């Protein structure tokens, strides 16, 4: 009896159309904006010209277009670290070298209001996906130039408006409804700015693969002030999403990602 042939997933699918995101080399640019929700990909497309919907498989919807002469890819990750890690791995295989997550996030410090912008300077890894990749002490951090540019551009574009910009460490959780009052209070006590569900996987995979990553989110709610505006019909939250997208696009152009 012959020995079983073990599949090496690190080599499977290279130079080919990717199984989950449905993309092939040559169909994307070098920078990708990553919302969680596939229905927010068209919101990014509103800023672009010559828009093409390239693929839509499962939670991963991809559109491309041009912003100030630069080819931009927008791919939804779905919710949580497992699908985000898959998206980053497969996008990297087809040519993406920089990632900027744009999405919603809940604030954990008093005074932050829905629609304000939150720039990540690192993530507390409270997820299971990154534990499969790296040592528990391995940090989940963005590319420092990308994070710095996101903060600078955000402050420039919001100057003179009521929208504010906050930068700090966020938490990445796996279980949305398991975030009880004790956990929220502990994160706030530690000075954690906000909590979401994707960035730690994006950061860790990007670092392991020699890629660049950053995140800017719109505040959807404040878990310590009791303010919640999850409805997409709410103008403050939608305007915050659009503002975060514009900041990400300007950063992509300025850094020539």
Tell me: pLDDT of 202 over 80: yes
Q: Phi-psi bin for 201: left (phi > 0), alpha (psi -120 to 50), beta? A: alpha
The residue among 237 and 100 whose pLDDT is bigger is 100
Question: Using an 8 Å Cβ cutoff, are 133 and 158 in contact?
Answer: no
**What are the C-alpha distances in Å from 108 to residues 80, 126, 164, 179, 199?**
19, 15, 15, 12, 16
pLDDT score of 231: 54
Taking the complete model, does pTM exceed 0.75, yes or no?
yes
**What average pLDDT does the segment 219-248 reach?**
83
Its domain, for residue 231, covers 31-254
**What average pLDDT does the segment 205-228 reach?**
92
Tell me: pLDDT of 129 over 80: yes
Question: Using an 8 Å Cβ cutoff, are 243 and 157 in contact?
Answer: yes
Determine which of 9-18, 95-104, 237-246 has the lowest per-residue pLDDT on average: 9-18
Answer yes or no: is 201 within a domain: yes
Determine which of 7-11, 126-130, 172-176, 215-219 has the lowest per-residue pLDDT on average: 7-11
Closest among 27, 14, 29, 30 to 57, alpha carbons compared: 27
pLDDT score of 151: 98
Q: Are strands 49-57 and 60-67 parallel, antiparallel or unpaired?
A: antiparallel
Answer yes or no: is 163 within a domain: yes
**Average model confidence (pLDDT) for the chain?**
95
Answer yes or no: is 4 within a domain: no
pLDDT score of 182: 96
pLDDT score of 8: 86
Q: Phi-psi bin for 137: left (phi > 0), alpha (psi -120 to 50), beta? A: alpha
Answer yes or no: is 121 within a domain: yes
Answer yes or no: is 12 within a domain: no
**What average pLDDT does the segment 112-128 reach?**
96
Q: What is the pLDDT of residues 14-53, one digit of tens each?
A: 889 999 999 999 999 999 999 999 999 999 999 999 999 9
Tell me: pLDDT of 229 over 80: no
Answer yes or no: is 71 within a domain: yes
pLDDT score of 13: 83
* Tokens matching residue 186: 């502990």
Answer yes or no: is 15 within a domain: no
pLDDT score of 84: 98
Tell me: pLDDT of 249 over 90: yes
pLDDT score of 98: 98
Q: What is the CATH number of the domain that holds 170?
A: 3.40.50.1580
Answer yes or no: is 16 within a domain: no
**What average pLDDT does the segment 134-141 reach?**
97
pLDDT above 70: percentage of residues in the chain: 96
Q: How many domains does the chain have?
A: 1
Tell me: pLDDT of 154 over 80: yes
Tell me: pLDDT of 236 over 90: no
């Amino acid at each position: 009896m012959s020995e079983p042939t073990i599949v090496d997933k690190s080599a499977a699918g290279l130079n080919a159309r990717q199984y989950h995101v449905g993309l092939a080399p040559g169909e994307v640019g070098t920078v990708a904006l990553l919302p969680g929700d596939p229905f927010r990909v068209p919101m990014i497309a509103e800023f672009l010209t010559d828009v093409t919907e390239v693929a839509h498989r499962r939670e991963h919807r991809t559109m491309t277009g041009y912003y100030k002469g630069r080819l931009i890819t927008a791919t939804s990750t779905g919710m949580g670290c497992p699908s985000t890690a898959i998206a980053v791995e497969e996008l990297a295989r087809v040519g993406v070298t920089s990632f900027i997550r744009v999405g919603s996030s809940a604030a954990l410090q008093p005074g932050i209001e829905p629609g304000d912008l939150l720039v990540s300077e690192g993530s507390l890894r409270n997820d299971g996906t990154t534990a499969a990749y790296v040592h528990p002490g391995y940090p989940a951090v963005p590319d420092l130039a990308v994070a710095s540019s996101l903060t600078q551009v955000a402050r420039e574009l919001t100057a003179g408006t009521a929208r504010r910009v906050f930068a700090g460490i966020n938490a990445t959780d796996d279980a949305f409804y398991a975030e009880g009052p004790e956990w929220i209070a502990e994160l706030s006590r530690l000075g954690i700015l906000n909590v979401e569900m994707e960035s730690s996987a994006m950061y860790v995979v990007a670092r392991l693969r020699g890629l660049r990553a950053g995140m800017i989110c719109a505040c959807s709610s404040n878990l310590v002030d009791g303010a919640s505006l999850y409805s997409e019909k709410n103008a403050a939250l939608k305007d915050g999403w659009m503002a975060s997208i514009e900041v990400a696009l300007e950063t992509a152009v300025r850094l020539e990602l």
